[in-house]
């Protein structure tokens, strides 16, 4: 595995561990997450994790484990057939994930590799 792949995987793991998303099913969660990492670009998984996190921000008890990851996967599948619409800004992503938003949103100097369409 190349260094960029390791760093990208570590970013996903950072989001998962920061919010304890694995829940009580950590082993099954990790297997499911590994499957997603084989299919989808890691920056897209990062965005889907954060978007799903925001969707459940006020849910008590907070959704974790396989249920959380299944909802993240649903979001990824939805994005396969339509434009990616994100309601968060790069700064909000940075605040929530604690990560540099450039791999997801691109830099100010360069257009993003995969444009994210904001709702009008």
DSSP state of 101: S
Cβ atoms within 10 Å, residue 72 = 24
Number of domains the chain contains: 1
Rounded CA-CA distance 28/73 in Å is: 14
Q: How much is the pTM?
A: 0.82
pLDDT digits (tens, 9 = 90+) for 8-23: 889 999 999 999 999 8
Rounded CA-CA distance 13/46 in Å is: 9
Rounded CA-CA distance 16/4 in Å is: 19
Q: What's the mean per-residue pLDDT of the chain?
A: 86
- Is 48 inside a domain boundary? yes
- Is 97 inside a domain boundary? no
- How far from chain centre, in Å, is Cα 101? 11
Find the domain containing 45 and state its range: 3-84
- Is 114 inside a domain boundary? no
- Is 89 inside a domain boundary? no
Report percent pLDDT > 90 for the chain: 60
């Amino acid at each position: 595995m190349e260094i960029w792949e390791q760093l990208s995987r570590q970013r996903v793991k950072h989001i998962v561990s920061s919010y304890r998303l694995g829940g009580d099913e950590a082993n099954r969660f990790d297997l499911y997450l590994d499957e997603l990492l084989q299919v989808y670009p890691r920056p897209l998984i990062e965005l889907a994790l954060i978007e799903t996190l925001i969707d459940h921000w006020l849910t008590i008890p907070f959704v974790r484990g396989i249920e959380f990851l299944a909802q993240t996967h649903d979001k990824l599948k939805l994005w396969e057939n339509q434009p990616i619409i994100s309601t968060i800004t790069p700064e909000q992503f940075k605040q929530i994930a604690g990560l540099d938003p450039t791999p997801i949103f691109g830099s100010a100097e360069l257009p993003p590799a995969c444009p994210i369409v904001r709702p009008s």
